């Protein structure tokens, strides 16, 4: 597996975690991202950072910290409204985000 390949299986995940000391994953607090976090927690030699980007939907920081802490990860919440000024979700992106949460890449469409 090279740097340009995506992680598509647990074997790929194991390969990557065997070669790094720190992993960043996205955490929405939902079932999918929490499951990914639980799988990453199995690799105890890696520091896990669970990142949440708050786009103004009312993120429960304490809940996210509890979920991350349960799996030995550090929770970081970034205010996306400040980090990504002048951008908002276009309709297809908003639908994708509501459907898939933070476990998929979600494009931001400037100025729509």
Which tens digits make up the pLDDT trace of 83-101? 665 555 544 444 444 444 4
Domains delineated in the chain:
10-83 (3.40.50.620)
Q: Which residues pair with 78 in a beta bridge?
A: 53
State both tokens at 97. Answer: 């985000």
The pTM score is 0.68
74's enclosing H/E stretch is: strand 74-79
Retrieve residue 91's tokens: 């309709």
Write the pLDDT tens digit of every residue in 45-97.
Answer: 889 999 998 888 778 999 999 999 999 999 999 887 776 655 555 444 444 44
């Amino acid at each position: 597996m090279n740097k340009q390949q995506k992680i598509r299986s647990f074997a790929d995940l194991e390969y990557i975690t065997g070669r790094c000391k720190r992993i960043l994953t996205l955490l929405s607090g939902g079932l999918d991202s929490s499951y990914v976090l639980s799988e990453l927690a199995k690799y105890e030699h890696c520091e896990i950072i669970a990142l949440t980007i708050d786009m103004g939907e009312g993120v429960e920081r304490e809940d996210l910290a509890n979920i991350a802490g349960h799996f030995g990860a550090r929770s970081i919440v970034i205010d996306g409204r400040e980090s990504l000024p002048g951008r908002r979700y276009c309709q297809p992106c908003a639908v994708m985000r509501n459907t898939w949460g933070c476990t998929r890449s979600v494009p931001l469409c400037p100025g729509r």
